[in-house]
Amino acid sequence: MRYLITGGAGFIGGHLTERLLRDGHEVVVIDNFSTGSRENLQTAEALAAGRLRVIEADVVSSAELLDREIRETDRVIHLAAAVGVELVIHDPVRTITTNVHGTENVLVPAARYGKRTIIASTSEVYGKSTKPFFAESDDLLIGNPLHARWSYACSKLLDEFFLMAHHRQSGLPGTVVRFFNTVGPRQTGRYGMVIPRFVEKALRGEPLPVYGSGRQTRCFCHVFDVVRALLLLADRPESCGGIYNIGSHHHISIGELARFVITRTGSQSEIRHIPYDEAYEKGFEDMMHRAPDTTALRELTGWDPEFSLENIIDDVVLEQQRRG
Ligand code: UDP
């Protein structure tokens, strides 16, 4: 089959491309290389044997290109998006433009040609909800527009409504996935992600910056598990018109995570607490707990995560050591 992957040179996109090529498919990647990189596609390129085409283009300004490519493809996986809390806060205009217009430029031709489409959303849409596990049918509690952080959740939520609208009005065979914290080799800490950052600092013997009290919790899922979930969903027509959480169930506080990374790497690093105001922006609102209910995904596909937090940290450490 031919897959079109927007954001295919990103962290998740690179792994997805690789997996599809290993499974014998053809892949067209569209990426503007703003947060993605050629490096993320190196392994994919090595095993492609003519089955990978990489197009450098921005989904916001490439409506015609997307129309042409989507017409010729079997499946579309739309991952191109503004990524990382830091980038969202520092460039909220780009965040909204990319997430809204970019997705529109994908969904319109996907609906016109009736292509199987999956778009990436985010656990950020659950906002300030305090439930122990977030389910897809939950009401959402997003913070107010005076905080740039929430522009990400809001723009992604609009993408979800957009896909549902096309599904209802023209039968677009589309599915929304909400990624929870996804981690693994090649993820960069440049855009704020905590695990690659902690590992990098631990390996250098530098202090690990824990924001806020460190009591906030997250569930970290290996990118290999996330890619597997995506492809299982793509194969299930019953998932059309649906929303699915993808994430791990194992939660850990950020303070514990810092201690765990230090122990696992045998590092002498200390932990340094940094107030949110200093780390992000004044009045920054973090989510205290974020864990997915993945019943819907499991019941439809049988999926459960296979990789533990130990596996994740070890993979990230190995990869960072290899790069030096
Ligand atoms: N965090 C931290 N130190 C860092 C980066 C992040 O303590 O260097 C915290 C962040 O405030 C959040 C958690 O780690 O509570 C996860 O952050 P990340 O940006 O990886 O993902 P998020 O869950 O915020 O989308």
Residue type, 162: F
| 122 in contact with ligand 1, CB cutoff 6 A | no
Nearest protein Cα to ligand 1, atom 11: 211
Q: Is the pTM of this model over 0.95?
A: yes
Q: What is the mean pLDDT of residues 120-127?
A: 96
Number of CB atoms found within 10 A of residue 101's CB? 16
Residue 4 clears pLDDT 90, i.e. is over it: yes
Model pLDDT for residues 229-255, shown as the tens digit of each residue: 999 999 999 999 999 999 999 999 999
Cβ–Cβ under 8 Å, residues 150 and 283:
no
**Three-point CA angle 308, 310, 314, nearest 5°:** 120
Average pLDDT score over the chain: 96
What is the predicted pLDDT for the residue at 191?
83
**For the CA of 124, the nearest atom of ligand 1:** 25
**What Rg value do the Cα atoms of the chain yield, rounded?**
19
User: Average pLDDT for residues 197-206, to the nearest whole number?
Assistant: 97
280 versus 319: the higher-pLDDT residue is: 319
- Indicate if ligand 1 lies below 6 Å from the C-beta of 149: no
321 to 43, 167, 195, 308: CA distances (angstroms): 18, 45, 14, 20
**Is there a contact between 52 and 30 (Cβ–Cβ < 8 Å)?**
no
214-225 b/e (C-beta count within 10 Å ≥ 16 → b): bebbbbbbbbbb
Is residue 66 over pLDDT 90? yes
Q: In which band, very low, low, confident or very high, does the pLDDT at 141 lie, cut at 50, 70 and 90? A: very high
- Answer yes or no: is pLDDT of 89 > 90: no
Question: Closest Cα to atom 20, ligand 1: which residue?
Answer: 193
**Taking CA 67 as the corner, what is the angle to CA 66 and CA 71, rounded to the nearest 5 degrees?**
110
Residue nearest to atom 17 of ligand 1 (CA): 194
Convert the pLDDT of each residue in 268-289 to its tens digit. Answer: 999 999 999 998 888 888 889 9
d(CA 321, CA 324): 5
127 CB less than 6 Å from ligand 1? no
From the CA of 209, how far away is ligand 1's center (Å)? 10
Per-residue pLDDT at 259 = 98
pLDDT of residue 159: 98
Ligand 1 contacts CB of residue 153 (under 6 A): no
**Active-site amino acid positions:** 152
Percent above pLDDT 90 for the chain = 90
**Percent above pLDDT 70 for the chain:** 100
* CA of 218 relative to ligand 1 center, distance in Å: 9
* SS3 per residue for 125-176: HHECCCCCCECCCCCCECCCCCCCHHHHHHHHHHHHHHHHHHHHHHCCCEEE
Ligand 1, residue 211: give the atom nearest the CA: 7
Tell me how far the alpha carbon of residue 207 is from its chain's centroid: 27
Closest Cα to atom 19, ligand 1: which residue? 193
